[in-house]
Structure 1
């Protein structure tokens, strides 16, 4: 048991230490504000204050974990053995940076509470982030900081044994459109034929016709093949189905069609299934509640997992809505158009609501890349493997989001990449 002496025990401090020391490093931690209790403790201990009491393991604290609400935070990026860090500490500090304050800043998404320039969908973009501006978006800095801290900590306490984590690959599959051509209704089907003709997409016209008359399999109906693939490589995939109403950004078939319900049930028998919340539900809790009820009814199981379509992650309101509807796991923490670690970590963590100043029961599962088929798969290969290597070094979770659309035979390069990831890093 690690005993931490501090002048004030706040929810932020408890949340951050519990996550870094216990959930990542596996070291139990307790706190005290009494000097005599700290001095009498003969086991592992450290102080987290402005000045050390003596020659104990000491990390000089910044003010962030003792404040409430949001304020302007002055950040200067420096290097800790070639790893970007901020909140530098004095020379007396055993660790040259306050990794606890810096980690809280990243995990709580503090910067997303501050004013920022939104994109056309009202989203926070990677380009606004501290990590992007300072070139450390593609490394899980929080997990790296923890490993560096552990090395110094074990030099002081050689008998301390950290919990050994194992590297995990977690493929996440979005299902925004279950089928390319079939079961889409008369009006949408006729409209598709008309669009193919107007845009001179004659090969697509032929494919559509072949599927509809039963001469060819629908190109997006590849679920059985990928269930077998995941079994072969002993990898658990997470599938997220979009079942909201048809709209400008949501184009799936009706959830009331039996073939769609059977598909969802079949996938849920072999894999983890969650809700791909519709574009409009990001700001409408009633729609989100309705979609959760639809999926629950379809699979006859409680629905605890959710992702936001288009990554419409509006902090903190969307997460508050999830908590109100009793979701327990979110898989939206990442960027749709940029690879990297949005919260600076490759480890699941609990959402801390700065407005309420509490740790919530919602567990956030971050991903570091999302493939939509809008770019060439080969462009990403080197960066993907570099990030996977960084995650392997800290024994974290390498989570990547794919769409069933880009895993079809129409996207051979993406399908090849998906299989290679299973072979090489699963």
Structure 2
């Protein structure tokens, strides 16, 4: 165990020290504010305060972990051996910045509590973030800092041995549209026919007719292929299913359709299944509760995982709603417009609620990239995407993190805007699991 001395043991101090030492480095940690107890401790120890007690392993503390609430902080970026960092420490501190305060700022998404401009979907945008502005969005700097700290710590305590994390990969699949044409209502089917016809999208007219009359398979029905790849490469896979009512932003088939319900039941047999809350649940927790109950009625098991549709969430309200519904894991932590690490980490962490100053039971699983980001926002080809995927995988592997990707079932369709993307999914799995 590592003993930490600090002048005041706050919930923030406990949270971030336990995350860095216990969750990332797998090292147990204890706390004391008594100097005599710290001096008497024979094992490895760290002092985290304003001035060192003696010649111990000392990191000078910033005020952030001893405050409450949210303040507009002045942040100046510097470099620690070519890695960006902030909250300079100086003096006798063994590293030139307060790694714990900086990590807390990034992981809690402190900046998202501050006033900011939202996009058309009510989201916090990547270009407002500290990571984007300072070119470290595609690096899990919290994890990089942590392993650099460990190397210095081992120099001070060479006999101390600790366990090592193992790199993991999780493939997540969002089901926004389970089927392109099948199992839609008569009104939607006829409306689609006429809409394509009058816009001279004759290939769409033929494909819709061929699918509805069972001449062809529905292009978005790629679930057997995804499950084949899951089995072949032994990949942990999580499906997020939309079961909300139809509206402009939620265009999936109705959750009352028997075929869709059977498809969800089949997915439960082979993989994990979570809720993909519909667009308007961000403002309406009653709709969220109803959709959770609806999915539980289909799977006959509690829903423990969630990812917001359109990645629409507000901190801390959206996460507070999930906690109220006893959701245990959220997979929404990422940006639609950019790949990278929104919380500057690739290791799952517990959500810390800055409103109530507590660590919550909700575990956040940050993803590194999304298919629509590559195709729609960055406008890169499948071949160019492989390079980006490989770079991000390497960043995660270097810190023994969890590489999480977000794809959709329709990406494997090779249909319309996803022409040429089918092979990318399996290629990505090979890279991620190699």
Do they superpose with TM above 0.5?
Answer: yes
Question: How many Å apart are 1:18 and its aligned residue?
Answer: 0.3
Aligned-partner SS, 1:48:
strand
User: How many Å separate the matches in 1 of 2:430 and 2:253?
Assistant: 33
The residue number in structure 1 matching 2:130 is: 130
Matches within 5 A, 1:265-284: 265-284=265-284
The residue number in structure 1 matching 2:398 is: 393
User: How many Å separate the matches in 2 of 1:225 and 1:385?
Assistant: 22
The residue number in structure 2 matching 1:16 is: 16
User: How many Å separate the matches in 1 of 2:226 and 2:410?
Assistant: 13
Which runs of 5 or more structure 1 residues have no equivalent in the other structure? none
Whether 1:263 aligns to 2:270 is: no
User: How many Å separate the matches in 2 of 1:305 and 1:2?
Assistant: 33
Whether 1:409 aligns to 2:390 is: no
Residues 306-344 of structure 1: CA deviation (Å, up to 9, x unaligned): 000001011110000000111010000000121110000
Contact 2:386 2:428 in 1 (8 A): no
Count of residue correspondences: 426
Which runs of 5 or more structure 2 residues have no equivalent in the other structure? none
Whether 1:169 aligns to 2:169 is: yes
User: How many Å separate the matches in 2 of 1:276 and 1:159?
Assistant: 48
Whether 1:424 aligns to 2:434 is: no
Question: How many Å apart are 1:413 and its aligned residue?
Answer: 2.9
Task: Give the TM-score, by structure 2 length.
Answer: 0.97
Question: How many Å apart are 1:383 and its aligned residue?
Answer: 2.2
Contact 1:334 1:367 in 2 (8 A): yes
Aligned-partner SS, 2:276:
strand
Contact 1:337 1:370 in 2 (8 A): no
Aligned-partner SS, 1:362:
strand
State the superposition RMSD in angstroms. 1.0
Question: How many Å apart are 1:160 and its aligned residue?
Answer: 2.0
Aligned-partner SS, 1:327:
coil
User: How many Å separate the matches in 1 of 2:214 and 2:134?
Assistant: 54
The residue number in structure 2 matching 1:294 is: 294
Contact 2:414 2:420 in 1 (8 A): no
Whether 1:306 aligns to 2:306 is: yes
User: How many Å separate the matches in 1 of 2:271 and 2:432?
Assistant: 19
User: How many Å separate the matches in 1 of 2:303 and 2:221?
Assistant: 23
Residues 125-181 of structure 1: CA deviation (Å, up to 9, x unaligned): 000000000000001011101110000000001122232111112111000110000
Aligned-partner SS, 2:352:
strand
Matches within 5 A, 1:114-129: 114-129=114-129
The residue number in structure 1 matching 2:382 is: 377
The residue number in structure 2 matching 1:211 is: 211
The residue number in structure 2 matching 1:64 is: 64
Question: How many Å apart are 1:55 and its aligned residue?
Answer: 0.4
Contact 1:168 1:397 in 2 (8 A): yes
The residue number in structure 2 matching 1:362 is: 362
Aligned-partner SS, 1:406:
helix
Aligned-partner SS, 2:404:
strand
Matches within 5 A, 1:171-250: 171-250=171-250
Contact 1:378 1:413 in 2 (8 A): no
